[in-house]
Structure 1
Amino acid sequence: MTTYDTPTVVLVHGAFADASTFSRVIPELLAGGLKVVAPAVPNRSLIGDSAYIASVVRQVPGPVVLVGHSYGGAVITGVGAEENVKALVYLAGYALEEGESLGELQGRFPDSELASALVYTPFPLDDGEGEGTDVSVEADRLPAIFAADVDPGLARVLAVTQRPLAAAAFTEPAVVAGWRTKPSWGIVAAADRTLNPDVQRFGYRRAGATTIELDSSHLVMLSHPERVAEVIREAVRSAGN
């Protein structure tokens, strides 16, 4: 039975997606008796999204293991400084340094195929007086770039239900790097066509993360749920000691 001494797993999804991308991992974790929270990330700004997830984490009684996929990795990097966070797990994710943005880290390496498939769409800001820019992926190209080893039917659904990321999130710097004070794990999606695997490797190495590589598309938690759950459970066990 889960107690407050057993960490709660908080799953943080990435851009162009929602928490349903963890649908194959969640049953694995629940079957092991773990408590799981999978909030919806606003995908509006790195600072704002991190603040929102931090508010979720602060309401969890007891310790937390944060799991971030892709852009969600950048989010958990900042949230990792919360007192009850005991470990970080990156899934094909951005492990930013303090003061570093997504664009800066990604810009050190060659572009992936994603760069040529992005769509930019204006949206009204909350004040009603300005305009922001949403970034999404061409629907007909998303399955091959994002989910090449995922069931084709599901990949097509993901393509038309994607949640855009505001362009501002790419340029905002991380306020803090939680991996500096918390242990971390990282999964490199070696066949990733969305986020250059070398971006993942560099960030994990810099963070001193315990790292494994899987021959996977960007959506590693859908194509390799058992292996992803195993890494999360390892982080939970470590955090519980």
Structure 2
Amino acid sequence: MTTTPTALLVHGAFADAGSWAGVVAELQNHGIPVIAPPNPLRGLASDATYIASLAAQIDGPVVLVGHSYGGAVITVAGAAENVVGLVYIAAYVPEEGESLGELQGRFPLSPLVSNLKEWTYPVEGGQTAVEVTIQAEAFPGIFAADVPAPVTKALAVSQRPLSTSVFDETAAAAAWQTKPSWALVAGADEAINPEVERFGAKRAGATTVELEGASHAVAVSRPKEVADLIRDAVRATS
């Protein structure tokens, strides 16, 4: 069994596992085992169950890393026995019993909220559910203002939609209550109000860094700084 924790990277809404590419390269260059699986984005409880199941199948300790909505997922999934630390990247950090709607409702809403496009998708029983993406024309400024324009154009049309149900679901657990956490606040985030990120990080007692001018897509635009924080967490939990 390896004693160096594996970094399990959980992407958030409107992105996919490829958004971690630069971070993965940085971690691999420093000999840190890493996996970046898909996050289903279909419900907080079900997404967390999936990620916790993956973590449990990894040989050795795991540091969970969550971006954006992925922060809520690792908060719940982090209860898995072999998870030894949590890293929040421009992320939601909910309390047990708290929904994302309640958490972000404590602060002024970000521009994201008024620039969402609704879609529907089929669910069991012949019913439909609602999912959202960011309006393509608003995507660069809201999600990735510090990412080169050609990249944002591709990101805008390859978004992974998020089920709107996640905003009303409450977190069944808050792993940060018993496990150490780290947080990166994106200072120029237009998708999640940075005050939401700061509040959650402080409440969790997370070791926190803030990147001035960083957009929500900080893992794409500033992969070295993101990887540095993950390395800190891996070292501290080894």
Please say whether Structure 1 and Structure 2 have the same fold, judged by a TM-score greater than 0.5: yes
Residue 158 of structure 2 corresponds to: 161
Q: Secondary structure at the match of 1:11?
A: strand
Corresponding residue number in structure 1 for 2:237: 239
Residue aligning to 2:122: 124
CA displacement at 1:199 relative to structure 2: 0.2
Q: Distance in 2 between matches of 1:16 and 1:170?
A: 15
- TM-score for both structures, normalised by structure 1: 0.97
- The Cα shift of 1:151 comes to 1.3
Query: Which residue of 51, 58, 61 maps to 1:60?
Result: 58
1:90 counterpart SS class? strand
Separation of aligned partners in 2, 1:123 and 1:9 = 32
Shift of 1:4: 1.0
Counterpart secondary structure, 2:126? coil
Instruction: State whether structure 2 residue 136 is matched by structure 1 residue 139.
Output: yes
1:195 paired residue number? 192
Pick from 46, 49, 65 the counterpart of residue 47 of structure 2: 49
Which AA in structure 1 matches 2:78? G
Alpha-carbon shift at residue 140 of structure 1 (Å): 1.2
Residue 185 (structure 1) aligned with residue 188 (structure 2): no
Indicate the residue corresponding to 2:100 in structure 1. 102
Tell me how far apart the structure 2 counterparts of residues 128 and 158 of structure 1 sit (CA, whole Å): 33
Q: Which residue of 2 aligns with 1:206?
A: 203
Q: Indicate yes or no: 2:222 matched with 1:224.
A: yes
CA apart distance, 1:128: 4.0
Aligned-pair CA distance for 1:135: 1.0
1:14 and 2:12 aligned: yes
Matched residues in 2 for 1:129 and 1:236: separation? 45
Aligned residues: 237
> Which runs of 5 or more structure 1 residues have no equivalent in the other structure?
none
Deviations 1:109-130 (A, max 9, x none): 10111011011112111x2421
2:38 counterpart SS class: coil
**Secondary structure at the counterpart of residue 86 of structure 1:** strand
Secondary structure at the aligned position of 2:224 is classed as helix
Q: Distance in 2 between matches of 1:116 and 1:163?
A: 18
1: CA distance between counterparts of 2:102 and 2:27?
Answer: 34
User: What residue identity is the alignment partner of 1:150?
Assistant: V
Q: 1:73 aligns with which of 71, 74, 82?
A: 71
- Structure 1 residues 229-238 or 115-124, which shifts more? 115-124
Q: Match of 1:84?
A: 82
Instruction: Give distance in 2, aligned partners of 1:124 and 1:222.
Output: 32
Say which SS state the counterpart of residue 222 (structure 1) adopts. helix
| Residues 145-186 of structure 1 deviation map (CA, whole Å, 9 limit, x = unaligned) | 100001111111010000000011111000000000000000
Residue 229 of structure 1 aligns to a residue in which SS?
helix
CA RMSD of aligned residues (A): 0.8
Partner of 2:146: 149
**Identity across the alignment (%):** 55
Moved >4 Å (runs of 4+): none
Runs (5+) with no aligned partner, structure 2 = none
CA distance in 1, matches of 2:149, 2:99: 33
Residue of structure 2 aligned with 1:113, choices 111, 114, 126: 111
**TM-score, normalised by the number of residues in structure 2:** 0.98
